[in-house]
Amino acid sequence: MAQRSQLAEPDDIQVAEAVPGGPPRRRARRIVLIVLLVLVLLGVGVIGAGGLYLRSVEGDIERVEAFDQVPEADRPVKTIADAMNILILGSDTRDPDNPSGSRSDTIILAHLTQGRSSAQLVSIPRDTWVSVPKTKDGQGGQDAKINAAYAWGGIPLMVQTVEKFTQVRIDHVALIDFAGFKDIVDALGGVEIDVAEGFTSTHSLNPDGRRTFVKGRQTMDGAAALDYARERYAFADGDFTRIEHQQQVIKAILDKAVSGGMLTSPGQVNSFLRATADAVTVDDTLSIADMAADMRHLRSDNLTFITSPTKGTGQVGAESVVLADTEKAKSFYDAVRRDAVPEILSIGKGK
C-alpha cells in the first residue's frame, strides 16, 4: 500500500457525525486512538477464534514505510532486545494553528518494557527545539521545532529526529488522529474526567466556538472530551496543560473500555476491529495481532504518562519554543534505552 505523505487530507479527517446508512469506513476514519491503545495495551480477544479474526482484519490496515529512508548508520543501537519503543504521531486537524494537518501535533514515545509488565508513554511537546537532520533532498538540516520534521520529511525524518533527540531506537510507528476522541468517547457512553481548574475553550466544536469547563469530576461526551483535550490558549503554560489533558482522556478511554465491558468478549472485539480497520496506519513491520497477544495482561494501571524533561518555554529569534532540559533528558532517555523502569519513573516525575 502506498505511503501517506501526510497523516491525512483535511477533508478526510474532519470531525463529523456519521451519515446514517453510509459506508462504515467513513466513520472508522474518526475512530483511531482506541484501536492502537486498547488492542495493544489491553490485548483482549486474541485467543482462539478471536485471534484468527484479528489476523484476518489486520490485512486491511494501512501500512507505511517508516524506516526506508532512515540511514542505518545514524540510528541508535538497540540496547534491550525484548523492550519495544513505538513512536505514536497524532494530528489535531482542528487546531487553529494547524489547518493543513501537515505537522505532527502530538508526539508520544511509548516504551513497552521487557516482559510487558508496564508501559511508559512519554509526550514530547511539539514545540521542543531540536536539531533536525537533513534529508537526501536537502530538507531540514537545522535547529527547529520538533514537529517541523514531519512537514519537511514525513515519517522517516520524524523518526530520525526523535532518535537523534532521544538516542532511543524506534521499533515501530503508528499514526493516529486525535479527533478520534469524539466518536470513541460517544461509543463508550462518555468518560469521567476530573477537571483540576475551570476554564473556557474558545476553539470549541460548539456553534459559538466556546465551551466552559467547571472544576471537579464530571462525565464528558465526545465533543466535550475533544474540546478538553485540544485546548491550549486558555492556559499560561499552553501545550503543557494540553498534554496533561490528552493524557487524562486517553486513560479515561482505556478505563471506561475495561470497566464498561465494551471490549471484553471476542465478538465485541471482532465487531470493533472490522469497523475500525481502515482507521489505523502503522509501519509495515508491526503486527497488531502479535503485539496484542504479547501484551494481553497489561492494563491501564500499569501505564504511566510522562512529559519529556524540559526547562519550560523560551524564545529563539521570533519563535516561542519549548527548551529541552538536555542534562535531565540525557539521563531520562538513557534509562529508557536500558529499560530501567524505576529510573524512568523517578526522573520523569522529577524526584
Dihedral over Cα of 9, 10, 16, 21: its sign: negative
Does residue 284 surpass a pLDDT of 50?
yes
Contacts of residue 165, Cβ cutoff 8 Å, sequence gap at least 6: 124, 128, 130, 131, 146, 324, 329
pLDDT of residue 351: 45
State the pLDDT at residue 303: 85
Task: Compute and round to an integer the Cα radius of gyration of the chain.
Answer: 19
Alpha-carbon span 204 to 210, nearest angstrom:
5
pLDDT digits (tens, 9 = 90+) for 42-82: 444 343 444 555 566 667 677 888 998 999 999 999 999 99
Give the helix/strand (H/E) hosting 164: helix 148-166
Nearest-angstrom CA–CA distance, 243 and 250: 11
Name the residue type at position 280: V
Tens digits of per-residue pLDDT, 299-323?
667 889 999 999 999 999 999 999 9
